[in-house]
Amino acid sequence: MTDDDISRDEARGLRSARELEGHLSWLDAFTPAALGVLAVASGIYTYLGVSSLLDGSGPMTFLAAAAYSIAVSVGIFVFWSYLMRLLPAMRTAGGFVGLGIATLVGSLAIVAMSSWLNAAALAGGAAVEQHLARTVQDYQASLERAHLIAVSAQGLERDVARARTSFEDLSEQERAGELSGTAGRGAVFRLLNQKADELRALEAQIAAQNAPIQSAFEEGNDILSRMRALIVEQGSVEQRSVTFSEESVRLAGVITTLRQLQVAPLVARAAEDLRASVVLPELDGRSAGVREDQAATIGSVLDALDGRAATLRAAAEEVLAMPPPQETTYTPISSADAVIRYAGNFAPSWAGAIAIDLLPGVLVFILAVTQAAIRRGREGAATEDTLTLAELRAAMRAMRDIETSMGQAETAAEARRPRRFPVDAAE
C-alpha cells in the first residue's frame, strides 16, 4: 500500500469521524431532555404502582408514593446520564468491562425498584381480573366434582333397591312355604321382612337427598354466574373483589353442603350393620323337624345377608374412593402481586414496563459504538489534520490575539525604557 493510499484512507476516516461528531453534536442537544421524559414517565407509572400497594389515601400515603416515584425518576436519569458520558469514553478493556458490570447491576436494580411497579400500573387491574377468573374456574371444578360424587352416591339407590327386592321375593317365597317347607309368617319370614324394611328405609333416605342435591347444585351455578359477571363488570376492581369474596364464601358453603349430602358413607355403614344388626327370631315350628328346617333356612338367609352386605359395601367404597373436590379458597390479591403471579399472561405489559426503564441502555450502546468508530477514524492522523474549519478559525483568531498582545507588550516596554540624548562633540 502506497503513501497516497494511506493518506486517502486517513482522509476518509477523518471525514467519517467528523460526520459522526456532527451527528452527535446535534443529538446531544435533545438527548438529556428525552432521557428526562423517560425518567418522568417511569416515575409516574411507579407512583401508580406504589399507590396500589399502600393502605389508605391520606396525605402521608400520597407523600410516600410521590417520594418513591421521584427517587426512581432521579435515579434513572442520573444512572443513564453517567453511563452515556463515561461508558463510550472508555478506551481500555478493563474500564469497559467494569462499567458493563455496573450497567448490568444497575439495570437489575431499576427492574427491581421500578419496572414491576410499572407493570402493575399498566396491567394491574387486568391481572386481578385474571386472578378472579382463575378462582372461578377452581370453584367451578370443585362444585362439579362435589356434584358428581353426590350423584354417583345417589346411584347406590339402585343397589339398595335390588337388595330390598331380593329379600322381599324371598319373604314371599317363605310365606308360600318354598324355603323352609312351612308356609306362613314364621321366623324366617319375619327375618326376611325385617331386612327388607331396613333396606326400604335406607332407600327412602337416599331418595330424599335428590332434591337437596339438585337445589344446592343450582344455587352453586347461580353464584358462579354472579361471580363471572363481577369479573367483566365495569368499575373499580377493588370493590368488585370485595363482592367477589362474599360470593366465594357462599359458594364454599354450597360445596360443603354437597359433600355432606352424598350418601356413600351412610350406605357403607348400613352394609356393615346389615349382618351385625340381625335379631334372630324365636323358632316357632311345631315340631323339632320343622324347627331344624327353619334354622337351616335362617343360616342360608344370613349367608345371603353377608353377600348383599359385601356388594353394597363394595359399591359404596367405589364412591368413597373417588377423589374429593379440591379445597378452594379465594385469597384477595394486590395488583402488583397479581402481575407477578400471572406474568406469563401479560408479557406485553412487562415488556413495555421494562423497556421504558432500560431503553436508555440502547442509547448507551449506540454511543459506545459511535465513539469507537470516531476513534478509529482519527487513528494515525496528525493533530493539524483533525482540525475542523471552525477550530482552524478559532486557532487563527487566538494567534492574532496573541500577536496583538505581544505587540502591545513590546510597545509598553519600549515606552518605559529611558531615552538617551546625544552629547555635542564641540562641547
**CB contact at 8 A, 40 and 69:** no
CA proximity to 35, closest of 385, 360, 276, 416? 360
Residue whose C-alpha is closest to residue 143's, from 45, 27, 225, 80 = 225
Query: Smallest Cα–Cα separation from 119: which of 357, 356, 350?
Result: 350
Q: Give the separation between CA 270 and CA 403, rounded to whole angstroms.
A: 123
DSSP 177: T
Distance CA 297, CA 119 (A): 80
CB neighbour class for 400 (10 Å; exposed up to 12, middle 13-18, buried from 19): exposed
- For residue 346, what is its C-alpha cell? 401479560
Rounded CA separation 113/300 (Å)? 81
Query: How many whole angstroms from its chain centre is CA 381?
Result: 58
Q: What's the rounded Cα separation, in Å, for the pair 136 and 277?
A: 46
d(CA 387, CA 395): 9
Encode the chain (427 residues) as per-residue pLDDT tens digits. Answer: 444 444 666 666 666 767 777 767 788 888 889 899 999 999 998 888 888 777 667 788 888 889 999 999 999 999 999 888 888 888 888 888 888 899 899 999 998 888 888 888 888 888 888 899 999 999 999 999 999 999 888 888 888 888 777 777 766 666 665 555 455 555 666 767 777 787 888 888 888 888 999 999 999 999 999 999 988 888 788 888 888 999 999 999 999 999 888 888 888 888 777 665 554 555 545 555 555 555 556 666 666 677 777 787 888 888 888 888 888 888 888 887 888 888 888 888 888 888 888 888 888 888 888 887 777 766 655 555 555 566 667 777 877 878 787 777 767 766 666 655 455 544 4
C-beta of residue 319 within 8 angstroms of C-beta of residue 153:
yes
Containing 54, the helix (H) or strand (E) segment is none
DSSP state of 384: G
